[in-house]
A and B are shown apart, each in its own frame.
Chain A
């Protein structure tokens, strides 16, 4: 991808003013986006992202520069300009790269660029028809297809030199159900660290029908009541609650500067003993997986909470310096345009013992969130909010009528303490997670769980 000697020269230039660590991140990425609306392919764009990020540390100070320039001279000039922000004497650098190799944990069968676009469109049409024909109230269906092939080279002044390739494919099915002036929407967005085989393997019938069913169900739903209720959150994308409510608060991004409610609490009981929370970037071909993180560190399985006890954080190189600990293989970035920082990969609550049937049957009155929407959190306070895309009232241990427009709000650490049942049906959902180093693919996951009390905001009143 790039000559070692050029990278060596860039690093040397970057360290010419007293920096104690420098890193080069080279990215070459092909993207395809196709949009099908109302049964017609409306647009299709493909392209190439290409650029280089240069990062320099001096103690806890960091400098980051990036460019799309690719000539040696221009890159050295950018490195020298970045180095001007550091003031000191150059340290003696004896740079020799040690190329790291590894076994690819995420094998690809069909590289997207080798698959004709017409084949991709055929799948989009198939899922369009499934969703459109699901019900007469479905008035509009949009299907978006996305694939990307990202090649990265990461080298640093400690001698690391590693290359990785990440291939991801995703389908986004969005539906609108209309009756008179009323409109409700449904969506499903499956994705994986896979090539075109992903679309050959998944159950299109399931995803297309579910996206349509959610919109139709919500059209027939009453407004959600508001108040404090027990809330049952189903598996898969339901895990977004803990992604927001505690995942972000466990990233060094907020922990290192003690801007997190979870800072300085290792070893403390932060959740009931039935809760274990794990981030695992090694899961084969999962949406948030990669062989190495964006600092070139092998990804790993990080146990964050074990039987309720806080065990660890997600830590990048700069966070590790500030915290005086080791990195955890969790440093990620959207692209060369961002300095990497600690982020989640595939984060999930470990399966418990209850069956989903038991959890429902044990709930006299509450809200059942079958599908969750997105949400956000303020890591400084732990206050979170997120939306229920498909919800129901649970009455006398049975799932009763559907309700719409519900938002869950609360405080992450407090909600965590109120988890009182954990199911045995762990599954993952795919999302895009936004934070300081950009928008990155991340899995959220959990089995069905029950929280004894969450504030539910709906429009019906109480």
Chain B
């Protein structure tokens, strides 16, 4: 069914139901993914998927409903469900249907060249990556994930206030994970690479990076429990920042679920720290010219030289604080309600190289990998205690790999204890925001080991 035609009939029928303002959100994805195992195509997945989400004001309250079955009966299903959902809302903060912003940035998020890469070319890349991993070392016992996924996403938002916006984007990512074995010692390492430019995927470099990292972890052991100066490698720093970005959400601030409440225009981090949210980033997984409420997005300095300048807002939280929406009204998909989430959020890179951070340390711990972020870190209190891997540094040199330790601290305290920032910005797994960080030198964190 043609989606614009569906929209018109839905809105007409919606008026009969008694809805005042209404909105239709549509998303469709074409997906391809494949995985190689021992030179063979181990899995090959195709998808054409999509769905619509309806929301509308009924008796002053916003009701939501969605469906993945877009047919005739979907119209009355959506209206009936949204009406029933609207009826039980008793929150005083009313949501609105948005008429549109004055100006929207023009973004190129779709690459024709990327779309033209065939499945065979993608498979050939993965086969090369896998073969290269085994060729690099006899200790590589298994390449447990050698996969590629490509997405082509189209979204539309249209409402009865005259707004109609479309956006299309595509992206490819690979995930490589290898297992190395030396006697009884087993270690693994993995890496996600994401781009809109297929030539960015260099099989030899990718294999080398991951295999080297896994090999360098062989022989790891724990270390004595005490406080160590910490060099948080960019990947680990990005995953930690990701866990705590919810503290910047005005929604959490207003609900008493953020430690950053009442901290606007105060110093919350070392003055070296600047945190940016950039929805226009060329290689950003979450780049967008409008948010899920139709509000134009913009580049934002959340923390500037250590000072908290703004929270992230959607229309509802902005009204409550008497400010303008920052364009962070976000739906995880058509199945979600409007929340607040970052687009591409990162700590600004500094001047030093990662090597410089290391070479100045008489004794320090490099943390390359953190586990259990969904359970061992509390986004509200900021406290974390996480399993970690890394290397022990003595006299500016890596002495040996370290595992079976935890590092513990408080994220908000840690921001104040950033002592230097490297120039190696990298991004983590996109989960409710695409979050990045350079490597960070932290004054000290409690380490539990032996």
Using CB atoms and an 8 Å cutoff, list the residues of chain A in contact with chain B. 28, 31, 34-35, 37-38, 40-51, 60-70, 78, 81-82, 85, 117-118, 121, 139-140, 142, 176, 178, 181-185, 224, 226-228, 254, 257-259, 261, 337, 339, 373-376, 378, 380-381, 383-387, 404-407, 409-411, 455-462
Contact = CB atoms under 8 A, between A and B. Distances in A.
Nearest to B47: A66
A227 B69 CA distance: 54
Nearest to B54: A47
A47 B448 contact: no
Interface string B353-396: 00000000000000000011011101011010111000000000
Contact of A381 (B67, B187, B225, B257): B187
Contact of A226 (B62, B71, B187, B406): B406
B337 A43 contact: yes
A117 to B, nearest CB: 5
B144 A375 contact: no
B51 interface: yes
A67 B45 CA distance: 11
B378 to A, nearest CB: 6
B377 to A, nearest CB: 8
Interface stretch (B86-94, B303-311, B321-329, B415-423): B86-94
Interface stretch (B8-16, B77-85, B165-173): B77-85
Contacts of B285: none
27 contacts: A34-B88, A38-B255, A40-B92, A43-B85, A44-B85, A47-B66, A47-B68, A47-B81, A60-B40, A62-B44, A68-B50, A81-B46, A85-B44, A139-B256, A178-B256, A182-B381, A183-B259, A185-B378, A185-B381, A257-B144, A258-B142, A339-B45, A378-B188, A380-B142, A407-B385, A455-B404, A455-B406
B40 to A, nearest CB: 6
Contacts of B404: 383, 409-411, 455
B406 A257 contact: no
Contacts of B255: 37-38, 140, 142
Given A257-B37, A337-B49, A381-B188, A64 B372 contact: no
A461 B446 contact: yes
A337 to B, nearest CB: 7
A44 B63 contact: yes
B47 A67 contact: yes
Interface residues of B, number: 76
Given A68-B50, A181-B259, A407-B385, A339 B43 contact: yes
Given A45-B337, A48-B68, A339-B43, A69 B378 contact: no
Contacts of B119: 85
B64 interface: yes
A386 B376 contact: yes
B46 A45 contact: no
The list of the 7 closest CB pairs from A to B, nearest first, reads A457-B406, A226-B448, A385-B387, A374-B375, A47-B66, A457-B448, A50-B69
Nearest to A44: B85
B409 interface: yes
B435 interface: no
> Which among B81, B337, B371, B385 has the greatest number of chain A C-beta atoms within 10 A?
B385
